[in-house]
Amino acid sequence: MKLHLLPLLALLAAPTFAQPAPAPDYRNPASWLCRPGAKDPCSGDASTSRVTADAVVTLDMLPAAKKPKIDCFYVYPTVSTDPTPNSDMTADPAEIGVAQAQAAPFRQGCRVFAPLYRQVTLATLRDRMMGKPVAADPAMGLRDVSAAFADYMKHDNKGRGVILIGHSQGSGVLKALVQTEIEGKPVAKQIIAAYLAGHNLLVPQGADVGGDLKSTPLCRSATQTGCVVAWVSFRDTMPVPPASLFGRPREAAPGMAVACTNPAALAGGRAPLRPLMVNRTGIVDNGTPAPKWAKGRNIYMPFVALPGLLSGECMNRENANVLSVGIKADPSDPRTDTINGDVMVGGQVVPSWGLHLIDMQVAMEDLVDLAKTQGQAWLRRRGK
């Protein structure tokens, strides 16, 4: 069974540990997956093939900003293939690959920091889903990331604005970081925004602030700062099943709803999405090869942009709040009419997961541009 990028906190009950394991030493460069100036997954090849509807392919190198004035602090999703309950501090190919897919594009606008952390592994989550006892410490990831963020703030930040970026388990850890280490504290003034993809962030129904985060509102414009963008993705053409893991509170939460903010249209409504799809077999090995992007074209670049193919809108569907993703398919043109990104088990789509594997990829260029715009707005307000 290959279920990757699973949500963390809803699947594991925290056991009691007599003495928590100490956090890693984040003064050690080996404790970081990505740091500025290092040769790492976030500084690798981010070149992109742009494939238009008529199959014209152009190359975009997506160069890194020369002297970015803001930072991005990225926490990766559940991808560790370690056989232990919690992962170790050595990056495996899946952790490297997901950083290349989800974090590297942001180097166009910011310095990227990404700590290694001892996340709950895929092996543990599979055991939990099959009803087996598990021994993971789900709080270990938060302790590690909190220590990494404290080290970053003390030694690297130097008054700069920072965008928090996470997906799935990474988003859950960052939400907890905001709750425990940021809201109500001086450091909150340096948070440009938080992008929490693939996670059920709760807000009061009809409101933009409250719920999981007490003082951090949802972002409703590209120049708003100190706010959060959160969404879970489903295809327009597939219903959100009653057993879906996303879009609805998983436990009794009277008056609460799952937040949805469309990265391409923060104020609401349907808008074109600008994806950067990964040109290989998914973000992690989910058994789903990348589609043939265009007939008669061989695409070799790490990323593929598909202008005009996707659109998205935050919608309430089947009593779930989701980013509903539509595909403007045209069988008469040579470009692909589909995208990969579904969770597959035994060759079959698992509909309860929606497009969880590509929550970030479906709007990656929108997110990168949003990071630039919000960063500029934060800098202007401080006269920088």
Q: Is 245 helix (H, G, I), strand (E, B) or coil?
A: coil
The confidence score (pLDDT) of residue 250 equals: 79
- For 90, other C-beta atoms within 10 Å of its C-beta total 10
Q: Are residues 113 and 141 in contact, defined by beta-carbon separation less than 8 angstroms?
A: no
Q: Residue 23: which of 98, 67, 86 has the closest Cα?
A: 86
Give the number of C-alpha atoms closer than 13 A to the C-alpha of residue 25, restricted to the C-beta side: 4
Relative orientation angle of helices 140-152 and 169-177, to the nearest 10 degrees: 60
The confidence score (pLDDT) of residue 287 equals: 58
The strand pairing partners of 204, in sequence order, are 256
Longest dimension (CA), the chain: 64
The confidence score (pLDDT) of residue 5 equals: 41
Phi, psi of 316 (to 5 degrees): -95, 110
The confidence score (pLDDT) of residue 345 equals: 78
Task: State how far Cα 273 lies from the chain centre.
Answer: 16
Task: Return the amino acid letter for 365.
Answer: E
The confidence score (pLDDT) of residue 282 equals: 55
Would you state the torsion angle of the CA atoms of residues 109, 217, 165, 366, taken in this order, to the nearest 10 degrees?
-50
- For 339, other C-beta atoms within 10 Å of its C-beta total 22
The confidence score (pLDDT) of residue 223 equals: 98
The Cα–Cα gap between 307 and 333 comes to: 14
The confidence score (pLDDT) of residue 286 equals: 56
Tens of pLDDT along the chain (384 residues) come to 334 344 444 444 444 444 678 899 999 999 999 999 999 999 988 999 999 999 999 999 999 999 999 999 999 999 999 999 999 999 999 999 999 999 999 999 999 999 999 999 988 888 877 788 888 998 999 999 999 999 999 999 999 999 999 999 999 999 999 999 999 999 999 999 999 999 999 999 999 999 999 999 999 999 999 999 999 999 999 999 998 989 999 787 889 999 999 999 999 999 999 999 999 865 554 556 788 999 999 999 999 999 999 999 999 999 999 999 999 999 999 999 999 888 887 788 889 999 999 999 999 999 999 999 999 999 999 988
The Cα–Cα gap between 274 and 62 comes to: 14
